[in-house]
Structure 1
Amino acid sequence: MTSSSINIINNISNSLEPVPLPAQKSLDMIGSPVSSNTSALSSHDSFDDFETVKNKRKLKRKHKMMTSVRLESDVVPISVSPILISSSSNIPAAAITNDSLISNVDQHNDVTKRLSPQQISITTESTRYAQTRYPFPPFIIKFITGTVLPKQVKEELLAHCNNVFQIEINILNCRLSNIRTNNDYDILLFVKDSYSYSFLLDHKHWPNVFNNVNYSFQSDQVIPPQLSLIVKNVDLHLDFDDFCSEIKLRYPTVKNVIRMKNKFQSYIKLVKLELTSSSVREELLNEKKIIIGYIAYDIAEYLAPATVLICSKCMGLWHFKKQCSQIKNTCRTCGDLVDDLKLHICSKIEKCIHCGLNHKSNSLKCHV
């Protein structure tokens, strides 16, 4: 009985095929927090409403290794900007070819050439123009009679301010104007800092005569950006006249209140304040706020738009009229080429020669 049962068991065991061991990759514990490897399912999009999750870090490491290997295999060392591979993309990392790397290198080189500072040519004229500009507009002193020298104006003005007001002002230059009519002549006075400029804005601080010769000021003096402020977030629907009156009543040194415009000539929520006192401006900048009508507004320093060197003959950029190679003159309004601008009959239709829009060719609002 025992031998027959043993024979039966041996026959059954011989007839059964051995079961193969499970793959090593699928040996995960039931209920283990470790996620199973889904690389075997990479050829399928979904199984029973389950989506395949790709490991972003693994793709990034694989992409980094491939990029470094390809860079080392090249004969000429070049800088390649990385190719971004998103996890939602259907293109595997192995599909990156040499053609894609070469095209990426070409794009990188094109961008580098466009942004290279060596491609920007700065002429000698534009450099001299930038280095010889004075920080403040000149005071224009007009004489009708006599022969007053610029040196005399400078010396007498310095002595007057020092003796009468015990104040020293800084003067950079004083020279004759190139524009003269008959016996009239103008003297241009340039100052160095905002304090000197604001002090001389008051005509009471000037002497009555220079070298016993009467004089006058040609026009109202321009308030420079160094004496200006910007008030932010001013409502477009408020009464702007009342707003200006209250500012000037509270701050008498505010000369002008100007609502700013954008490039489409529409009013915006910025208001420019032009002051005649540098000390009041510094106090407001330190407080960083101004209270008007029980409302506190933020204030900031006013930054003037950049000055561009424009040729007065051809309306071109970055050179003077003396260096211009154009034979004819260009009308700044209509853009026509004429032999003599004095004999030119302009159509008064503004057209920029740079962008073709309806503004003058030397306008600073041109986007070119």
Structure 2
Amino acid sequence: MKDNINNARRQADEKNIQSYSRPNITQHALQYAVNYQLPSLKITCQPGVKDQIEGKNIMKALFIHIHDDFCKLNNQYNRPIGFDTWYVDKQGDLICFTSQIELFVYLWDVDHYPPKLLNTLITPVPPTHLPPQHSIIFKYVPRTISFDELLEAVSDVCQSKLLLEEMKGSMTNKSRHIRLDLTSKEETKKILNSGVFPLNGYLIEVTEFLAPPKLLICSRCNRPGHIRKECNGPFDRCKRCGMNKAQGDHIQCLIKCHHCEGEHIATDYRCPVIVKFRGELIDELKRRPELLPQNIQLFIPVEFRNGGKNFIGCQQKEHIPSPSYLHSSHTNVWPSLNQPVTQNYDDRFKQDFYDDMKKEIKLLRNDYEKLKLVFDQREKELMIKYENNKNDCISKVYTVVNEVVPIITSSLKSLHIFIEKIVKNNEDINLKNEYNILQFTIEQNLVMLNDRNDLVIEHQRATAMLNEKTNDIFRHGLELMSSNEQ
């Protein structure tokens, strides 16, 4: 039984590896690799937040508390202060998201939080690191310089909140890289502009931190290149052993990659399948640098550089050179400095883009107004047709009923007279003749009743057809409405 399971698993893994041998770089994977999103900010609450209303009140109190200090530290910030979104998790804690780096950096410092808000004790749990714009790398720091020495030297230079951390993947016997996160953007620029950091007679190379491309990995099958809702896997696979998560205990299960049979989890960057996908992703980004946002660069690991640059950047537009002006009044003619440009190429490009966008929006709005006017006219026409059809149906039914009732009345009267004559039981010949006449009259009335009954049936059919036409008209109106909305 175990052999059959192992064989089935081996066949599935071989199919996985064969599928990885084909290019697997989707547009979704490329967008995920280049789009940098700030991580969430967690605020632990005691007691836990019960509902959205209580969370809303705590949020209001938080922003009232930080407003003045935040505006003082970020005097160039001209947007309202608030999160893009937030929610209350199962434990009653607040999970907050923002796309504004200034607010993220401010709330990354736990000293900016009050200990209590509206009788609720709060404990901020910020992410470990700041965004790349606030990160610096000290490269090849000698082992003779201790971590504490560098921390003390940086603390003497920088007054803002900082975090210093050794980068594990860069450690060698002689040196290592150390990452520095600073809340002050000015201090970050100052250190980067110097290019080096002096310490103990060494000039340590300083460079900006570049985040590597992110890998899109499915949480169901642990494959790179797609997300869970696009996965065709039969079940959720454990990262450790590769078996079905719903079966058995997967907390202390055997670690064995189900991609390559290696002794690591399936999403480990050491896995050949992950390495292959990572290389293909970086090669695709090298060929398509226009996918990166402006002024954003991505770090290329050493094993994927192939002798090239260590970063991928968006290709910038070429600047238009300004002409040089000469002072002809002097014998030694020197070219003057370039005249200051009030608006560079990028600004003109953005302005032209915004103007074109406004024109396009205006045209779309005019088209929308025209379509809306046509739709209103058609709607009025449909309502008029509907009223006419309805009135026609009612009129026909009323006419038929108005004609049938007198006939029935006349027939009943004739029948009454006929019965009276029969009761008298008289052998008079004249009476018999009169009886025959009455009988003939009743027969004629019955024929007329039958004819009118047929006419009622015909009118009923006509009414049904009119109702069907009315439904078709309304159906057509709904289709027009949906097409106009699109």
Task: Normalising by structure 2, report the TM-score.
Answer: 0.42
1:140 counterpart residue number: 42
Contact 1:198–1:278 under 8 Å retained in 2: no
Are residue 122 (structure 1) and residue 30 (structure 2) matched? no
Aligned-partner Cα distance in 2 for 1:331–1:146: 33
After TM superposition, the structure 1 = structure 2 runs for residues 262-273 of structure 1, keeping only pairs within 5 Å, are 262=169, 266=172, 268-273=175-180
1:337 counterpart residue number: 243
Are residue 258 (structure 1) and residue 162 (structure 2) matched? no
Are residue 160 (structure 1) and residue 78 (structure 2) matched? no
The one-letter amino acid of 1:122's match is T
2:190 counterpart residue number: 283
The one-letter amino acid of 1:174's match is T
The one-letter amino acid of 1:282's match is K
After TM superposition, the structure 1 = structure 2 runs for residues 46-125 of structure 1, keeping only pairs within 5 Å, are 121-122=25-26
Tell me how far 1:302 sits from its aligned partner. Answer: 0.5
2:431 counterpart residue number: none
The one-letter amino acid of 2:191's match is L
Are residue 176 (structure 1) and residue 87 (structure 2) matched? yes
Aligned-partner Cα distance in 2 for 1:319–1:332: 16
SS of the residue corresponding to residue 264 of structure 2 reads: coil
Query: How big is each residue's C-alpha offset from its partner over 1:103-140, in whole Å with a ceiling of 9 and x where there is no partner?
Result: xxxxxxxxxxxxxxxx765155x477569x66322211
Distance 1:199 1:344, change over 3 A: closer
- Post-superposition, which runs of at least 4 consecutive aligned residues in structure 1 deviate over 6 A? none
The one-letter amino acid of 1:361's match is A
Aligned-partner Cα distance in 1 for 2:213–2:165: 19
Distance 1:121 1:245, change over 3 A: closer
Contact 2:196–2:206 under 8 Å retained in 1: yes
Aligned-partner Cα distance in 1 for 2:185–2:87: 28
SS of the residue corresponding to residue 219 of structure 2 reads: coil
Aligned-partner Cα distance in 2 for 1:343–1:216: 35
Tell me how far 1:231 sits from its aligned partner. Answer: 1.0
Distance 1:218 1:333, change over 3 A: farther
Distance 1:285 1:325, change over 3 A: same
SS of the residue corresponding to residue 188 of structure 1 reads: strand
Aligned-partner Cα distance in 1 for 2:232–2:206: 46
Distance 1:353 1:305, change over 3 A: farther
Aligned sequence identity (%): 22
Aligned-partner Cα distance in 2 for 1:281–1:354: 42
Tell me how far 1:142 sits from its aligned partner. Answer: 2.4
Distance 1:306 1:165, change over 3 A: closer
1:236 counterpart residue number: 143
Distance 1:238 1:348, change over 3 A: farther
Contact 2:135–2:179 under 8 Å retained in 1: yes
Aligned-partner Cα distance in 2 for 1:249–1:292: 12
Aligned-partner Cα distance in 1 for 2:113–2:145: 40
Are residue 292 (structure 1) and residue 199 (structure 2) matched? yes
2:95 counterpart residue number: 188
Gaps of at least 5 residues in structure 1 are 1-118
1:312 counterpart residue number: 219
The one-letter amino acid of 2:184's match is S
Tell me how far 1:290 sits from its aligned partner. Answer: 1.9
Tell me how far 1:316 sits from its aligned partner. Answer: 0.8
Distance 1:157 1:266, change over 3 A: same
SS of the residue corresponding to residue 222 of structure 1 reads: coil
The one-letter amino acid of 2:239's match is R
Alignment RMSD (CA, Å): 3.4
Distance 1:249 1:137, change over 3 A: same
Contact 1:136–1:192 under 8 Å retained in 2: yes
Rg comparison, structure with higher value: 2
After TM superposition, the structure 1 = structure 2 runs for residues 313-328 of structure 1, keeping only pairs within 5 Å, are 313-328=220-235
Are residue 362 (structure 1) and residue 264 (structure 2) matched? no
Q: Which of residues 134, 140, 154 is equivalent to 1:247?
A: 154
The one-letter amino acid of 1:337's match is M
Tell me how far 1:363 sits from its aligned partner. Answer: 2.4
Distance 1:121 1:347, change over 3 A: closer
SS of the residue corresponding to residue 86 of structure 2 reads: strand
Contact 2:52–2:87 under 8 Å retained in 1: no
Distance 1:215 1:348, change over 3 A: farther
Tell me how far 1:303 sits from its aligned partner. Answer: 1.1
Are residue 214 (structure 1) and residue 124 (structure 2) matched? no
2:105 counterpart residue number: 198
Paired residue total: 240
Aligned-partner Cα distance in 2 for 1:304–1:322: 27
Distance 1:252 1:304, change over 3 A: same
Tell me how far 1:229 sits from its aligned partner. Answer: 0.6
Query: How big is each residue's C-alpha offset from its partner over 1:187-220, in whole Å with a ceiling of 9 and x where there is no partner?
Result: 222233433222222334335554x241423535
The one-letter amino acid of 1:359's match is H
The one-letter amino acid of 1:201's match is W
Contact 2:43–2:125 under 8 Å retained in 1: no
Q: Which of residues 162, 181, 190 is equivalent to 1:274?
A: 181
